[in-house]
Amino acid sequence: MRVCVLGAGVVGLTSAYYLAKKGYEVTVIDRQEGVALETSFANAGQISPGYSAPWAAPGIPLKAIKWLMQKHAPLKVSADPEFKKIAWMGKMLANCTEKAYDVNKSRMVALAEYSRDQFIAMRKEIGIKYDDGQGGLTQLFRKDEQVEASEKDIKVLKALNVPHQVLTPAQILDVEPGLAPVIDKFKGGLRLVGDETGDCFVFCQELKKHCDELGVTFKFGVSIERLVVESGKIRAVKTDQGDFEFNHVLVSMGSYSKELLSDIDISIPVYPVKGYSLTVPITDSKFAPVSTVMDETYKVAVTRLGSRIRAAGTAELNGYNLDLPKVRTETITHVVHDLFDQGCDLSEADYWTGLRPMTPDGTPVVGRTHIDGLYLNTGHGTLGWTMCCGSAAVIADIMSGDKTEIDSQDLSVQRYK
């Protein structure tokens, strides 16, 4: 079987790898000049199955209203009355119920846990290195109500047998001693011991080398224009450099998947949610994170990547805008300054922005479509790095007709019918 993968971000690249391992002839097409040059380039660095949760949660509508009035808020919404944005927000709000939250979180954690296992297996099999660490993730709660709200997550974690620890402020310092100067700001924490860290861009650079060894063909600098469908079957990919004929195509184009698919009457509720990050060198490791901490007040993750700190956060609903205004980076800068100011020099920070492909329920879209030979692996939101290996293994099994190792029915596009 000849397979074309559209998109060379971490989701498309891992999909190509798993398909090539099954012996398929794989071609990857991307408009950039290399792998992982868009959303996968400078993400938060978290591989966080235990922290996997939908943004649509009980209480979010009220919180969102408050956030819009705050300077350092996790959510920003542009003022323009864009229909797609409003429609997506309406679907997300419909998922802000206790029942929907429990269902969606269970789906997400199951896929993310499976993905973490695939990461472990990959490291053992090919010895890939990517500033990876296995030090867990610590959620930091500044308020008593955050500690109380974490109980619903703990309930799901227990049901899925996900290892975790409830921490007092003193116990937080046992795992993240760099927080000692500011520990009085926190009421408690939740540690997800199985979560990992790593540089997604470095991972993609290294994995491409293994894909090359498996015979994967990469066509970079090629803009994908549309899909050619005839008699209910995929026939070709039309690009600015001509048509490429394939009868098996996997769409993994992140936020841009929706626009491509809408031309052939496939609707997926994916919206580009803009995020920001900074990367800064560590100047004193005693006051730097050991692994990842998540400041729940600001929804900012701060991660140790070797000799660097990576911080990422903010959800901005502003279409496909990729501007990088200073006002939008103030929240992540504030959190790093507030937590680890003695461990780094923020004047040396590099800033970045990218578009996360979010679904209203937080769960990615992985599976076949009603068009013969056309498959999807997209919509991972903030968890593409966390879920990439799991969703890639799932879609490779689906495309080859093998039984998936986890239940994949709830990941399919059919859930939106």
DSSP conformation letters of 253-267: -GGGHHHHHHTTT--
CA-to-CA separations, 313 to 136, 151, 164, 383, 417, in angstroms, rounded: 19, 23, 23, 12, 32
- List, for residues 8-59, the tens digit of each pLDDT value: 999 999 999 999 999 999 999 999 999 999 999 999 999 999 999 999 999 9
- If residue 236 lies in a helix (H) or strand (E), which one and from where to where? strand 233-239
Q: Distance between CA 141 and CA 138 in Å, rounded?
A: 10
Q: Distance between CA 154 and CA 58 in Å, rounded?
A: 15
Residue count of the chain: 417
pLDDT of residue 4: 98
Mean pLDDT of 200-207: 98
Instruction: Say if CB 188 and CB 141 are below 8 A apart.
Output: yes
User: What percent of the chain has a predicted confidence (pLDDT) above 90?
Assistant: 91
Mean pLDDT of 206-222: 98
Q: Distance between CA 55 and CA 58 in Å, rounded?
A: 9
pLDDT of residue 47: 96
Spell out the domains of the chain, with CATH numbers in brackets.
2-41+202-269+362-416 (3.50.50.60), 50-96+130-198+271-358 (3.30.9.10)
List Cβ neighbours of 326 (8 Å cut-off, separation of 6 or more): none
26: tokens are 């794989």
Q: What is the pTM of this model?
A: 0.95
pLDDT band at 417 (very low <50, low <70, confident <90, very high): low
161: tokens are 């047998």
396: tokens are 């490779």
Between residues 384 and 157, which one has the greater pLDDT?
A: 384
According to DSSP, the β-strands at 137-141 and 292-295 are parallel
